[in-house]
Chains A and B, each alone.
Chain A
Amino acid sequence: MFGNYGQRYIVLTEKDINERQEEDIGKVSAVLSIRREEACVLLHHYKWNISKLSDEWFADEEKVRDIVGLLLNGIDLPNSRKLTCGICFEGYSSDVMSSAGCDHFYCHECWEGYISAAISDGPGCLSLRCPDPSCGAMVLQNMINKLAKDDDKVRYARFILRAYVEDSKKTKWCPAPDCTCAVEFVSDGNYDVSCNCKFSFCWNCTEEAHRPVNCETVSRWILKNSAESENMNWILANSKPCPKCKRPIEKNQGCMHMTCTPPCKFEFCWLCLGSWAEHGERTGGFYACNRYESAKKEGVYDETEARRERAKNSLERYMHYYERWASNQTSRQKAQADLQKAEKEQLAKLTDVFGIPETQLKFIIEAWSQIIECRRVLKWTYAYGYYLDDKVKSEFFEYLQGEAESGLERLHQCAEKDLQSFLTVRSDNTEPAPSIAEFGDFRVKLAGLTSVTRNYFENLVQALEAGLEDVHSTAQGTTSSNATNIPSKKAVTKGKTKKQLPRTSSDNSDEGWPCERCTFINPSSVDACSVCDKHRY
């Protein structure tokens, strides 16, 4: 709803991802003359960067094979009829023994358990090696398919698919529940994307779309809102986010040397969260990392502590913002349901009653879509307001927010209540049916409100994204404009009115006058705004 998205991003279905992945695997397997499953682990190791993989492969194939654990020649089964499994030490005939291409043979039962344990540990199983600690031979997908339980095979294949999306810096999964699409982000600019499943989310932080609020504010807000506050307190007190992949980590062992779970595997110091590789004598020893001590002295940690403390004390203030944030969320969900109802039933009914083709009733759908979008923006302005601590800006912000809210209420009411009077007409015949002319008026009003609200919210989003930077400069140069309640704010609102004029007037070709309050262009024949009823003079 905000501008034209063009080709900023591409939505990929599971089929698309599979095709792309198969294409990459096929390409690599052809170019390097290796088997499909070998190409698969190589690509996974090189994070699906084909050019880097082939560069390194052709520079030193042996080295790449060594790192990834791809043996050049498989070992044939030893001739001896009976072999001893290296895990359970039982003797088996050679047809129920396998190795990862090396000479470490294990029985199929132990393989199944080994693979199963690795798969339940997570995506780290994609680089599963031979059980022998001294051997680096990679366990390939054909081994998995031969030896694992059926549901493990499925999970393994899913991990490969997931890795393709998660390894790439350009693709991310749609976070909507049950949605299997991924979104590839192509260009820079704003991160709001909309998936095939209609869920819009911020590609950067994968929370729901949250313009004009930035990702940091959103994550703070969501953390704060977490219903399970008990859990939250526990996580805050007992865990730290991995400095690399940001997953919360609980320290469950004694030493400060932390290793994040695969695939991240980042090794870091629990005290200072710095890379473990940089630790040693220079940092004051492994066991008493003085980076932490010095950071504490500089007040880096105290700052975080103080912020937590402040947040606790402002519970009441928080409740104020939270309630409004949540009620806009609820209104939005209601509006989504109403939009569906309009699409499924109401349009057909109106066509039936007034004989207007559905194509000409699109303004109703547009109105609902606009309401949904505005509810979303308005919702996030409450998170914005909560974290805004500039007094002058706050005052101005609340004014803008208030205007936005009343504008949206007018639109929402018009779509919800006014429309109803045209729909309920057939069920009781006590009142005269509304005429087509009346419906025409309704149409003008709703379309007008939609356009006005859209403009207002677009400007609001822009102003908030710019951090309300024009507040201080414009507040000083107040012009002697028409009567208004808050002069300093008027200056800015007027600036907005001017900006919007060309856009709105292009919709209405005849001359008119713009409403002071809501900027709607009214025909010269009326003296009161047909949208918000404000008098012209």
Chain B
Amino acid sequence: METQRLLSEPAPGISASPSEENMRYFNVMILGPAQSPYEGGVFKLELFLPEEYPMAAPKVRFLTKIYHPNIDKLGRICLDILKDKWSPALQIRTVLLSIQALLSAPNPDDPLSDNIAKHWKANEAEAVETAKEWTRLYASGA
């Protein structure tokens, strides 16, 4: 039911399609938001609905390499609604929108990747450059 809604009301810059073999597994694409270091990039993610969903949060991970203080090199995301702030009233759509928002507003004060956060705090302009560079290198042309 939720899947149908997701497909019928797509959010701008986000697409999610269920895998053919496993209806709980989604291939997700998020476009880098405008005015962010990720602009122009296409980021692939995987999203998995655990058995307890929607009572437990979906599991989401970046597959595309990304330079972001709240995302580590394995693609894991530090986002409260994916952990203790999860609510069944949230949906896949809200989760993906939150991730998109995280790309627009990195939060180096609650970091997952120490080195990137350090870089971000010490020299934001330079870190943004690296993020742009990574976007060009890894996220252009899917």
Query: Does B137 sit within 8 A of A, measured CB to CB?
Result: no
Binary contact track B92-110/A, C-beta < 8 Å → 1, others 0: 0000000000000000111
**Residues in chain A near residue B85, CB distance under 8 A:** 133
Complex-state Cα separation, A113 to B111, whole angstroms: 32
B55, closest chain A residue (CB): A117
Q: Is the CB of B52 within 8 A of A117?
A: yes
Q: Is the CB of B55 within 8 A of A113?
A: yes
Q: Is the CB of A90 within 8 A of B89?
A: no
**Residues in chain B near residue A131, CB distance under 8 A:** 87-89
**Residues in chain A near residue B54, CB distance under 8 A:** 87-88, 110, 113
B119, closest chain A residue (CB): A287
CB contacts under 8 Å to A, within B17-37, are: none
Binary contact track A277-320/B, C-beta < 8 Å → 1, others 0: 00010000111100000000000000000000000000000000
Query: Does B90 sit within 8 A of A, measured CB to CB?
Result: yes
14 inter-chain pairs at a CB distance below 8 angstroms, sorted by A residue, are A104-B89, A110-B88, A113-B54, A116-B55, A117-B56, A131-B89, A132-B89, A133-B81, A133-B89, A254-B76, A255-B78, A286-B109, A286-B110, A286-B117
**Residues in chain B near residue A87, CB distance under 8 A:** 54, 88-89
User: How far in angstroms is the closest Cβ of chain B from A270?
Assistant: 11
Given A116-B55, A253-B78, are A287 and B90 neighbors across the interface (CB < 8 Å)? no
Query: Does A259 sit within 8 A of B, measured CB to CB?
Result: yes
Of B87, B111, B118, B121, which contacts A255 at CB under 8 A?
Answer: B111
**Residues in chain B near residue A86, CB distance under 8 A:** 89
B113, closest chain A residue (CB): A254
Query: Does B129 sit within 8 A of A, measured CB to CB?
Result: no
Main secondary structure of the interface of B (DSSP, over half): loop
Complex-state Cα separation, A89 to B90, whole angstroms: 11
The 7 closest A-B pairs by CB, nearest first: A117-B55, A131-B89, A254-B112, A287-B114, A87-B88, A287-B117, A89-B1
Query: Does A386 sit within 8 A of B, measured CB to CB?
Result: no
Query: Does A257 sit within 8 A of B, measured CB to CB?
Result: yes
Kindly name the residue among A117, A132, A257, A286 whose own CB sees the greatest number of chain B CB atoms within 10 A: A286
Complex-state Cα separation, A472 to B90, whole angstroms: 70
CB contacts under 8 Å to B, within A261-288, are: 280, 285-288
B72, closest chain A residue (CB): A254
Binary contact track A131-150/B, C-beta < 8 Å → 1, others 0: 11100000000000000000
**Residues in chain A near residue B78, CB distance under 8 A:** 253-255
Complex-state Cα separation, A106 to B87, whole angstroms: 13
Query: Does A114 sit within 8 A of B, measured CB to CB?
Result: yes
B54, closest chain A residue (CB): A87
**Residues in chain B near residue A117, CB distance under 8 A:** 52, 55-56, 88
User: How far in angstroms is the closest Cβ of chain B from A147?
Assistant: 14
Binary contact track A88-120/B, C-beta < 8 Å → 1, others 0: 111000000000000010100010011011000
**Residues in chain A near residue B110, CB distance under 8 A:** 255, 257, 286
Given A87-B54, A88-B54, A113-B55, are A132 and B1 neighbors across the interface (CB < 8 Å)? no
Complex-state Cα separation, A87 to B2, whole angstroms: 9
CB contacts under 8 Å to B, within A133-182, are: 133
User: How far in angstroms is the closest Cβ of chain B from A363?
Assistant: 61
**Residues in chain B near residue A110, CB distance under 8 A:** 54, 88
B residues apposed to A, CB below 8 Å: 1-2, 5, 52, 54-56, 72, 76, 78, 81, 83-85, 87-90, 108-114, 117-118, 121
**Residues in chain B near residue A88, CB distance under 8 A:** 1-2, 54
Given A254-B76, A254-B78, A287-B111, are A133 and B52 neighbors across the interface (CB < 8 Å)? no
User: How far in angstroms is the closest Cβ of chain A from B89?
Assistant: 4
Q: Is the CB of A90 within 8 A of B1?
A: yes
**Residues in chain A near residue B2, CB distance under 8 A:** 88-89
Binary contact track A220-261/B, C-beta < 8 Å → 1, others 0: 000000000000000000000000000000000111110100
**Residues in chain A near residue B72, CB distance under 8 A:** 254
**Residues in chain A near residue B117, CB distance under 8 A:** 285-287
Q: Is the CB of B111 within 8 A of A114?
A: no
Complex-state Cα separation, A113 to B88, whole angstroms: 9
Given contacts A106-B89, A132-B87, 15 further A-B contacts (CB under 8 A): A88-B54, A89-B1, A89-B2, A113-B54, A114-B55, A117-B55, A117-B56, A131-B89, A133-B89, A254-B76, A254-B113, A255-B110, A286-B108, A286-B111, A287-B121
**Residues in chain B near residue A113, CB distance under 8 A:** 54-55, 88
Complex-state Cα separation, A253 to B80, whole angstroms: 12
B112, closest chain A residue (CB): A254
B111, closest chain A residue (CB): A287
Complex-state Cα separation, A110 to B54, whole angstroms: 9
User: How far in angstroms is the closest Cβ of chain A from B84?
Assistant: 6
User: How far in angstroms is the closest Cβ of chain A from B35?
Assistant: 25
**Residues in chain B near residue A253, CB distance under 8 A:** 76, 78, 83, 112
Complex-state Cα separation, A131 to B118, whole angstroms: 36
User: How far in angstroms is the closest Cβ of chain A from B109?
Assistant: 5
Complex-state Cα separation, A337 to B2, whole angstroms: 64
Complex-state Cα separation, A517 to B141, whole angstroms: 94
Given A87-B88, A133-B90, are A288 and B56 neighbors across the interface (CB < 8 Å)? no
Complex-state Cα separation, A275 to B54, whole angstroms: 32
**Residues in chain A near residue B121, CB distance under 8 A:** 285, 287
**Residues in chain A near residue B114, CB distance under 8 A:** 256, 287-288
B121, closest chain A residue (CB): A285
Complex-state Cα separation, A106 to B88, whole angstroms: 10
**Residues in chain A near residue B81, CB distance under 8 A:** 133
**Residues in chain B near residue A90, CB distance under 8 A:** 1
B90, closest chain A residue (CB): A133
Q: Is the CB of A89 within 8 A of B87?
A: no
Q: Is the CB of B118 within 8 A of A285?
A: yes
B73, closest chain A residue (CB): A254
Complex-state Cα separation, A114 to B112, whole angstroms: 29
User: How far in angstroms is the closest Cβ of chain A from B94?
Assistant: 8
User: How far in angstroms is the closest Cβ of chain B from A194?
Assistant: 41
Complex-state Cα separation, A259 to B110, whole angstroms: 12
Complex-state Cα separation, A259 to B83, whole angstroms: 11
Complex-state Cα separation, A132 to B94, whole angstroms: 12
